[in-house]
């Protein structure tokens, strides 16, 4: 670990590494099919073209070791506040316990503040108890229930 | 109740009525200041200019009786799925029990399907137990914990 992890917006050539991180996960394994890159590249183009979306990678020694997506959502609630939302946070199995997750969340929070967001929010699967302890340590309050309905 | 509730994108002149709905709420009352419309109108312009955001009103006999916001979030997860997210769902106190909430959620779901979304998601404050029963009846699964961190 000579170099620190650096965070930068994802490029199209990072997509396979990001999909590999999404698939290397207890819940993600059943949801991703990394054999066909086409739908992921199409999605990447939509994210990249949207000024309200920021797909990020963390690199160490040139290798993608982490990823997350930030969405900036304008709204009327809370005095017309912009809220930042973090989705799809993943750290490579080799890099867990190295502080990469905390660095990633600090980067996200700084960027949300820079864009004037009043709130940073995320949802985490109820089974990810270690992740919940991690978010609570960083000052996140588990005040809400996250509901999802699959449409396909 | 001669006319049904009709749903349409909010216009700038609807903003005061929407803010009144947001403020007329156990949790919202402390978070909104309807005496100064300026920040809400600024936020409205940002929402209105963003093709990934849809702020809606429900009207009956010309009066705004409901509101909600749909966000369409492209992502790499779940095979490059677009997810729809519902925020700031409110129904006027006079109209509760009239099926407006169910009509509103049906409209949101139809729009999410029309835009090819694979998932519809929302978070609801843990204290809103009636709302949770409502969402579960509509097929939403409370699979996640919603974390929030205030930045201001």
- Could you identify the residue written with the tokens 């980067």? A107
pLDDT digits (tens, 9 = 90+) for A84-121: 999 999 999 999 888 999 999 999 999 999 999 999 99
Q: What is the mean pLDDT of chain A?
A: 94
pLDDT digits (tens, 9 = 90+) for A52-84: 999 999 999 999 999 999 999 999 999 999 999
- A87: contact with B, CB 8 A cutoff: yes
Which band of pLDDT confidence, cut at 50, 70 and 90, is reported for residue B31?
confident
Distances (CA, A) of B129 to A50, A100, A107, B90, B134: 35, 36, 34, 15, 9
Which domains does chain A possess? 6-137 (3.40.630.30)
Candidate from A57-66, B4-13, B90-99, B103-112 with smallest mean pLDDT: B90-99
Burial track A112-124 (b if 16+ CB lie within 10 A, e otherwise): beeeebbbbbbbb
Short-list A29, A93, A18, CA closest to A56: A18
pLDDT digits (tens, 9 = 90+) for B39-81: 999 999 999 999 999 999 999 999 999 999 999 999 999 999 9
A-chain CB neighbours of B52 within 8 Å are 50, 52-53
Collect all residues with Cβ–Cβ distance below 8 Å to B114 and sequence separation of at least 6: none
First to last CA, chain A: 43
pLDDT at B26: 76
Cα–Cα distance, B93 to B63 (Å, whole number)? 13
% of chain A surpassing 90 pLDDT: 86
pLDDT at A21 over 60: yes
Candidate from A10-19, A66-75, A142-151, B31-40 with smallest mean pLDDT: B31-40
A-chain CB neighbours of B121 within 8 Å are 123, 146-149
Cα–Cα distance, B33 to A14 (Å, whole number)? 44
Please state the separation of Cα A113 from the chain's center in Å.
Answer: 17
Q: Which residues make beta-bridge pairs with B46?
A: none
pLDDT at A27 over 70: yes
**If contacts are CB pairs under 8 Å, which of residues 95-114 in chain A contact chain B?**
109, 112-113
pLDDT at B32: 87
CA distance B7 to chain A (A): 18
pTM over 0.90: yes
In the predicted model, what is the mean pLDDT of residues B110-117? 98
pLDDT at B23: 92
Cα–Cα distance, A101 to A35 (Å, whole number)? 27
């Amino acid at each position: 670990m000579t170099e620190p992890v650096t965070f930068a917006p994802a490029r199209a050539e990072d997509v396979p590494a990001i999909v590999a991180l999404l698939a290397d996960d207890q819940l993600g394994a059943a949801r991703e099919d990394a054999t066909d890159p086409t739908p992921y590249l199409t999605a990447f183009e939509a994210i990249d073209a949207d000024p309200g979306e920021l797909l990020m990678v963390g690199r160490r020694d040139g290798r993608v070791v982490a990823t997350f997506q930030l969405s900036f959502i304008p709204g009327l609630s809370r005095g017309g506040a912009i809220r930042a939302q973090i989705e799809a946070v993943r750290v490579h199995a080799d890099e867990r316990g190295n502080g990469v997750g905390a660095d990633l969340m600090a980067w996200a929070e700084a960027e949300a503040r820079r864009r004037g967001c009043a709130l940073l929010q995320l949802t985490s699967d109820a089974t990810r108890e270690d992740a919940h302890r991690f978010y609570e340590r960083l000052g996140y309050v588990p005040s809400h229930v996250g509901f999802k309905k699959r449409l396909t």
